[in-house]
Structure 1
Amino acid sequence: MPESRFHWSSSAIFARLKPALRGALAGIGCALLVPQAATAQTLRIAMTASDIPTTTGMPNNGFEGMRFLGYPVFESLVLWDLTTTDRLAPLRPGLAERWEQSPDDPKTWIFHLRRGVTFHDGTAFDADAVIWNLERYFNKDAPQFEPPAAGIVRARAPITTGYRKLDAMTVAITTASPASYYPYMAALILLSSPASFEKAGRDWAKVGLVGSAGTGPFRIGSVAPRERVELIRNDGYWDTAKKARLEKVVLQPIPEANARLAALRTGQVDWIEVPPADGIPSLKQAGFAIVTGSYPHVWPWFYSIGATNSPFKDVRVRQALNYCIDRAGIVELLNGTAEPAVGWLKASDPDFGKPVNRYGFDPAKGKALLAQAGYSAQKPLSFKVMISTSGSGQMSPLPMNEFLQANLKEACGVNVEFVVSEWQVLLNNMRALPDAPALNGSLSLNISSPSSDVAVMARYFAAAGAPPNGFNFAQWKDDAFEAAFAKLAATTDPKVVAEQTAIAHERLVDNPPWLYIVHDLNPRAMSGKVKGFVSPQSWFVDLTLVTMQ
């Protein structure tokens, strides 16, 4: 993978990408020049992904994949309420009408399935279908085992250890330890039709060419890799109150921000994810809607603490960088579509706690900590960071990382090199072991991440979530964090959960496994024709609410 020193322009980085990727992106740009017919109730969305998310029922491309080719088509036992903006999106019943911990065993959750639901192909949703999907993700010897999807699900629900059918409409799922937060993990396990796999000759590659059948408000109509996916309204959707208003949604991967901007301006799409910050004023002047809103998201660099000879084994180095960066400068660069991050949670969050360290732009303090750790002008701290050119929640990764590279050099004498990769490659490396060749010597990863609930906290920071089991890339372990987390996992008392979450978060700040940079405000730009959209405090959106004028 290519590397850089100091400033690269976006075009320079693009020029150094692998030829195959450059060709794919160029093809996408050319496709924008071809007029695309749209019916009155067709919504065309430009994603930040460089390819369409996988269509077999568990999409890749991070939570952007879940946003557009996850929940609109495939559903889980537990869903999100995405209709409000005044609080973090809560859970709601999905393909399970209700659930509870077993009174005999707090490690077991009982899910009572919704009756009368069918997949898009007309086959019945029942306990057998649920078990078939769980076997697909957790049993490597099952005929339907799908390794890429299994890797995603296992990392998002790493404490899942067993499952069984209790009757035709009831299943039990067992976890490694009592976990009051498990429904949040269950919400990320999507379910698709076993018949889709059989129809494709038990070949997941063939399933992906046409798309699997789910139970959601939209079904997959057509798939054109690297170009588009068409979603068609499911007129037989089980939740009659939430049938989609739109007839069709067209998803297009356009990873380059200015190409997305051009597509919106020329009417090729109606909605773009993450407009380029410097284009926002002119979009507003031209009458386009810029939609922003708080949501549970943080844009960090992950430290690799477990790598051989990693400087990040020393907590003073990890703290130092958190004092060395100019977060206000990043916010200004982004035209106000972000806010400074001084922890995994926002400082205004009631669970933020009272950490000793309150990070701000303080180069003197940062350099003092680096000096204590043995780094100086004569022996500067130097390391590589793996970054992407685009991707789910990645905002504007090239200019943002260039800013940080220059900022760290000027403020604290820190030398940063970049290893530039495709978004999905970067995501895969989040589960890499320390010193893995795929990291190309990177000691940090720039991966935007959710901060929505304690289940996410478990995946990213619990010692048990270290790769390959979860997303604790840092290989971080903190005894006080582990103790607090064990207490909140064992209780359903909201007061205790809040108290212990705050204690756990204090450790994330004072013993930081990440460099906390910004929380973004989820910007997207839309044509005035798009109506009814709600920007929830979530990574996901409810497309059933949207209409086209």
Structure 2
Amino acid sequence: MKNNEITWGLKRSASLLAAGLLLALSANAAKAESVLRVGMTVSDIPDWSGQPDQGYEGARFVGWSLYDSLINWDLSRSDIEARMAPGLATEWAVDPQNDKRWIFKLRQGVKFHDSCEWNAKSALWNIERLTVQTVPQFNPVQYARQRSRTGNLDRAEVVDDYTLAIYSKTPDALFPYNFYNWFMISPCAGEAAKYDYSEFAKHPVGTGPYKFDKVNPRERLELVKNAEYWDKKRIPRHDRLVLLPMPESTTRTAALLSGQADFIEAPAPDMIDRLKESGAQIYTNEYPHVWVYAFNTRKGPFSNVKVRQAANYAINREEMVEMLNGLAVAAGSTYSEKSPFFGGAKPYDYQPEKAKALLREANCSPCEIRIAMSNSGSGMMQPLSMNELVKEQLEQVGFKVTLSVVDWNSIMSISQKGWEANPDYDAVNGANPIIDPVSAIFRRYTTASNAPQGLNWGWYNNAKVDELAKQAQQTFDVGKQTEIISEMHRLTTEDPPLLFVVRDLNPRALGPNVKGFVQAQSWFQDLTPITVE
């Protein structure tokens, strides 16, 4: 009997222990963080101290996570192109008494992550930190990143606690397009860091849906949910966001297959079937993108319009689409036929004999050119294999191509400084966001936007385009403005500043346990609805 009692006691103790362990495990499971790990295409963490570097990928994953702009984007739908939406400003309009004065009504009841107040004073502080070199918060590096959007900005002033007036130098009906990626940081945190942005980066503070937690440069940036975010619909549905730089498409794909990432940008095209077999979800969608080369139109072969046209006729875009496993569509102009700005443009198609004839007329055969390209980057798709195919196609009609591979931040720097700073390049490979007319046309094709003032790297010059740009900026009637921009598009297709290649279908791969993602027709994406099971 005694042995039986002992045995029963041991069994009961074991049962109680097991029950306790189960309860503990259940409690731990309930408390376990849900973590979303994202494999980006960049080679380093985008700057997290305000205006990110690394192009729009920096804005997509860091800018819109930690911060907000005066104007945000509605990224909640996949069936229409994303549109601008109220952010830290609830409305904006030109002053009816002064067409160079824009009034921004600011959102009330918003605080930065450090409880600093969002109001007109903090908005002015942020405008001036990227425009006024004499204020203590001025950041020359971030000013350079934002410079292409500040050229026509004269000054800003506080009207009242929640109203800001921003003045343009000349009347500009397109002025609001400059404020959708002007990220607002906490003035309190900036002042506490004594305006030292490397110090601010140790604990950056914005108003966004995520808060900074920790960073390991070149390895990972970790953000956590902002449960008090002002837009209750966009409070993240996961606890932690981990951003991982992975410039090689095969590395990103392998990370998803092995469970080291949950969400990856631009998976390797030749591994799509393998991903599907593993249960991964493949998302694609059209968005305002065109993969291009900017020509140096002031020096070298591409100063001749016939050589620029020849390059465009030399590209077999359907072969490129096939190589990309159908994850792109051909692009022979800035805008597609679906755009309201397409107008009467005649996109380039594949005509190799015409390309050869144009090179002969230009007396450029063999036509030696040097191209700057990167091995990764925002919107760059699969740059190594794509550039090799473009090189092959150009050489088939009489070009002799040298490819110079640099990292993505170097490409950004080359593009921002202009051809004079890098005169040995005849073209620079890149991906153009055609989100709005300012990004697509005005910042790239007008003399006023010659780099470094804007993004017209090769200093393309067309007097008719410049005149139409002035007309469009002074035209507040949307219908008439659209007609003017459409004519600018027609002219810049006929006299091309760029070599147009393809439009990306924005492929992403998500693990089978990732739910709730809506792929917007945009360079930017909203990660907040995602759950990780």
**TM value normalised by structure 2:** 0.92
Aligned to 1:29: none
Whether 2:175 is the aligned partner of 1:176: answer no
Secondary structure at the residue paired with 1:87?
coil
The C-alpha deviation readout for 1:91-127, integer Å capped at 9, x for no partner, is: 1111011111011211111111111100001110111
In the alignment, is the contact (CA less than 8 A) between 1:481 and 1:507 conserved in 2?
yes
Whether 2:412 is the aligned partner of 1:427: answer yes
1:12-411 correspondence runs (5 A): 39=32, 41-208=34-201, 210-307=202-299, 310-355=300-345, 357-376=346-365, 380-410=366-396
The C-alpha deviation readout for 1:286-343, integer Å capped at 9, x for no partner, is: 2111111000001000001123xx2111111111100001111111111101011111
Cα distance in 2, alignment partners of residues 423 and 496 from structure 1: 38
Secondary structure at the residue paired with 1:354?
coil
**TM value normalised by structure 1:** 0.89
Percent of counterpart pairs with the same letter? Answer: 38
The C-alpha deviation readout for 1:129-175, integer Å capped at 9, x for no partner, is: 11111121011222111111111112234321211111221111111
Give, as a single letter, the amino acid of the residue that structure 2 aligns with 1:326. N
Cα distance in 2, alignment partners of residues 109 and 187 from structure 1: 15
**CA deviation after TM superposition for structure 1 residue 477, in Å:** 1.9
In the alignment, is the contact (CA less than 8 A) between 1:85 and 1:537 conserved in 2?
yes
Aligned to 1:483: 467
In the alignment, is the contact (CA less than 8 A) between 2:419 and 2:425 conserved in 1?
no
**CA deviation after TM superposition for structure 1 residue 518, in Å:** 0.5
Segment of structure 1 superposing worse, 166-175 or 392-401: 166-175
User: For residues 144 and 523 of structure 1, do their structure 2 counterparts lie closer, same or farther at Cα, with a shift above 3 Å needed?
Assistant: same
Cα distance in 1, alignment partners of residues 66 and 149 from structure 2: 19
Whether 2:503 is the aligned partner of 1:513: answer no
Secondary structure at the residue paired with 2:347?
coil
**CA deviation after TM superposition for structure 1 residue 492, in Å:** 2.8
Paired residues, what number? 502
Aligned to 1:35: none
The C-alpha deviation readout for 1:199-230, integer Å capped at 9, x for no partner, is: 3233111222x241111111111111111111
**CA deviation after TM superposition for structure 1 residue 40, in Å:** 5.4
Secondary structure at the residue paired with 2:96?
coil
In the alignment, is the contact (CA less than 8 A) between 1:491 and 1:497 conserved in 2?
yes
Secondary structure at the residue paired with 2:419?
coil
**CA deviation after TM superposition for structure 1 residue 546, in Å:** 1.4
Segment of structure 1 superposing worse, 149-158 or 443-452: 149-158
Cα distance in 2, alignment partners of residues 325 and 234 from structure 1: 47
The C-alpha deviation readout for 1:466-504, integer Å capped at 9, x for no partner, is: 111110112112222223322322223221122112111
In the alignment, is the contact (CA less than 8 A) between 1:64 and 1:392 conserved in 2?
yes
RMSD over aligned Cα, in angstroms?
1.5
Cα distance in 2, alignment partners of residues 272 and 336 from structure 1: 18
Cα distance in 1, alignment partners of residues 205 and 76 from structure 2: 25
Cα distance in 2, alignment partners of residues 483 and 475 from structure 1: 16
**CA deviation after TM superposition for structure 1 residue 450, in Å:** 0.2
Give, as a single letter, the amino acid of the residue that structure 2 aligns with 1:368. A
Cα distance in 1, alignment partners of residues 459 and 327 from structure 2: 31
Give, as a single letter, the amino acid of the residue that structure 1 aligns with 2:415. M
In the alignment, is the contact (CA less than 8 A) between 1:346 and 1:519 conserved in 2?
no
The C-alpha deviation readout for 1:439-465, integer Å capped at 9, x for no partner, is: 371111001110111121211122111
Residue 418 of structure 1, aligned match among 403, 427, 435:
403
In the alignment, is the contact (CA less than 8 A) between 1:419 and 1:440 conserved in 2?
no
Whether 2:512 is the aligned partner of 1:528: answer yes
**CA deviation after TM superposition for structure 1 residue 372, in Å:** 0.9
Segment of structure 1 superposing worse, 242-251 or 508-517: 242-251
Larger radius of gyration: 2
Structure 2, unaligned runs of 5 or more:
1-30
Cα distance in 2, alignment partners of residues 434 and 60 from structure 1: 20
Segment of structure 1 superposing worse, 381-390 or 218-227: 218-227
Secondary structure at the residue paired with 1:485?
helix
Whether 2:429 is the aligned partner of 1:461: answer no
Secondary structure at the residue paired with 2:391?
helix
Secondary structure at the residue paired with 1:543?
coil
The C-alpha deviation readout for 1:360-379, integer Å capped at 9, x for no partner, is: 11110011111111123xxx
Give, as a single letter, the amino acid of the residue that structure 1 aligns with 2:433. P
Residue 433 of structure 2, aligned match among 439, 450, 453:
450
Give, as a single letter, the amino acid of the residue that structure 1 aligns with 2:385. P
Cα distance in 1, alignment partners of residues 318 and 33 from structure 2: 42
In the alignment, is the contact (CA less than 8 A) between 2:280 and 2:511 conserved in 1?
yes
Secondary structure at the residue paired with 1:328?
helix
Give, as a single letter, the amino acid of the residue that structure 2 aligns with 1:409. E
Cα distance in 1, alignment partners of residues 269 and 520 from structure 2: 21
Give, as a single letter, the amino acid of the residue that structure 2 aligns with 1:265. L
User: For residues 163 and 327 of structure 1, do their structure 2 counterparts lie closer, same or farther at Cα, with a shift above 3 Å needed?
Assistant: same
In the alignment, is the contact (CA less than 8 A) between 1:231 and 1:248 conserved in 2?
yes
Cα distance in 2, alignment partners of residues 66 and 268 from structure 1: 23
Aligned to 1:12: none
Cα distance in 1, alignment partners of residues 340 and 232 from structure 2: 37
Whether 2:480 is the aligned partner of 1:496: answer yes
In the alignment, is the contact (CA less than 8 A) between 2:246 and 2:252 conserved in 1?
yes
| 4+ residue segments displaced more than 3 Å | none
